[in-house]
Amino acid sequence: MKKLNDLYPGIGTDIVIKRVSINSKEVEPGDLFVCTMGVTADRHDFIDNAIENGASAIVVSKDIRDKSVPIIKVPDTNRELPYLCQKLYDYPDKKLKMIGVTGTDGKTSVSTIIQSLIGSDLCGYIGTNGRSCAAFKGDNPNTTPDAHLLYDYLDEFVRFNCKYAATEASSEAFFRGRLQAMEYDASVYTNITSEHLNIHGSFENYVECKLQLFKQTKKDGICVLNKDDKFFEQVRNACNGNVFTYGLDKENTLQIVNFKVFPNKTDITFNYKGNEFSFVSPLLGDFNVYNLAAAMLTCLELGFKLEDLLKNIDSLYIDGRLQLLNTKTPYYVMVDYAHTPNGITRLLNFVHTLDINRSIVVIGQAGERDYLKRPQVGDVVVNNATYAIFTYEDPRSEDPEKICEDIIQNFKDTKDNYEVVIDRRTAIQKAIDMAKEKDMVLILGKGNETYQKLKTETIYFNDVEEAYQAVVNRNIKEEMAK
């Protein structure tokens, strides 16, 4: 908490500000309401609602008639927000070693692995899977939340004696200005493929937002880059900190010397600055070898000892990623977050190295998101899976039937190994019901997230829970049929 005249000297009042809010419906007594400009809403229109709910003061960028609470005018409320939140929470990002992870795929995995290697008592996590440290686990509305939440979360880490924060740094967060006040001690790059063009307008703009992380890395900070990705040179040229690389080539700071993927483990050999070492990882797939390389190199360059990092390998687990459910059935069920063409391709390539028969995929594509990606995802799934069931996935204001039409447009009249089942619960049940011995049912796109965003509401929905229930339903039907 801070007094208003501490945040804005000369304002002439010592009203105590408890927190910052940008949603008038969520305002509580003691809040400072900031009238940011949203994608579809101007929060200046909701000042009276905010005051009714108890806002102690209002920050605006437009001329506003007198109100019953103090009004502070700034040139740009969106730009003001992160700097204001920094000040309110006493600059928690300066008290932590800030680690930012960006890329089209792998942000959640790399951030989570970093937290696990360092230890959740020392390192907090903020990303798609929420926010957490050893002391607590909480929700998070976005991969990278708005600044008023982000700095609140970082302040939580400080209060629980964390020293590091492993955070997913999304391109949209840079585009929206949520991270503009942040300086990073370490920045990590996984890969870049086409994504979020509905937001950025072009692939070039999307890449430029990704590069911003490396421009905001401290001069004495570290930039950890995937040298095997085709955009490596472009990312390296944007780096403000010291560059360290990982990949297959011997010239990398951390070389991926060799690895062998098994159904339940991965044998890995790395070479770090001439020191070769081998270990067994519980994470599966070649993509997780790269994710682990990125995370381990980051921790090593931050000064952690190799022997201490290796002690934490056995405990690695990434919620909602390659999550093989314990269904006790002759068929397999896996939930994963894969939703990009590259991520889905790599996942299916890995799955087909396992001892399975058919692969049955349940997947959709999000509404109000990159529509150009939809047919690419459809092509990847029908060309690499045995059978596909396309369904809704956070349709928002869009018609889910239209989204599925976009997905199947390239093969609608030429392929017969797919169907459209709009209701996601029904689609999951259908996939479970059709699975035979040693078939693999893959439910993709959401991981362990607990919501679906529909046209008029956000509902609770969890793919893991739905899959387990579908197995129960099938078992009951089979028992009744005996």
Domain end position, chosen among 315, 339, 362: 315
**Gap between the Cα atoms of 323 and 334, Å rounded:** 5
> Measuring CA to CA, how many Å separate 269 from each of 130, 226, 256, 285, 310?
31, 17, 6, 14, 12
**One-letter amino acid for residue 252 of the chain:** N
**Gap between the Cα atoms of 459 and 71, Å rounded:** 36
**% pLDDT > 90, the chain:** 84
pLDDT digits (tens, 9 = 90+) for 368-395: 888 888 999 999 999 999 999 999 999 9
Q: Which domain holds residue 11?
A: 2-88
Pair (154, 71) in one structural domain = no
Is pLDDT of 400 > 60? yes
Position 201 scores a pLDDT of: 64
**Gap between the Cα atoms of 133 and 142, Å rounded:** 18
Position 197 scores a pLDDT of: 55
Position 86 scores a pLDDT of: 97
Pair (170, 292) in one structural domain = yes
Query: What are the structure tokens assigned to 154, written together?
Result: 């970082």
Pair (138, 197) in one structural domain = yes
Q: Which residues pair with 453 in a beta bridge?
A: 458
We report the CATH number of the domain holding residue 398 as 3.90.190.20
Q: What is the number of domains present in the chain?
A: 3
Pair (22, 160) in one structural domain = no
pLDDT digits (tens, 9 = 90+) for 135-166: 899 988 788 899 999 999 999 999 999 999 99
pLDDT tier for residue 195 given thresholds of 50, 70 and 90: low
- Among 137-151, 198-212, 351-365, 467-481, the range scoring the smallest mean pLDDT is 198-212
Q: What angle do CA 298, 236, 118 make, to 5 degrees?
A: 10
**Gap between the Cα atoms of 353 and 228, Å rounded:** 22
The rounded mean pLDDT for the chain is 94
Position 196 scores a pLDDT of: 54
pLDDT tier for residue 41 given thresholds of 50, 70 and 90: confident
Domain end position, chosen among 69, 88, 107: 88
CA 269 to chain centre: 28
Is pLDDT of 301 > 90? yes
Pair (343, 417) in one structural domain = yes
* Segment holding 131, helix H or strand E: strand 130-133
CA end-to-end distance (rounded Å), the chain:
65
Is pLDDT of 206 > 90? no
**Gap between the Cα atoms of 247 and 297, Å rounded:** 11
CB 402 within 8 A of CB 375: no
Predicted structure pTM score: 0.88
> Where do runs of H (alpha helix) occur along 216-275?
232-238
**Gap between the Cα atoms of 399 and 143, Å rounded:** 24
Strand 217-226 versus strand 136-138 pairing type: unpaired
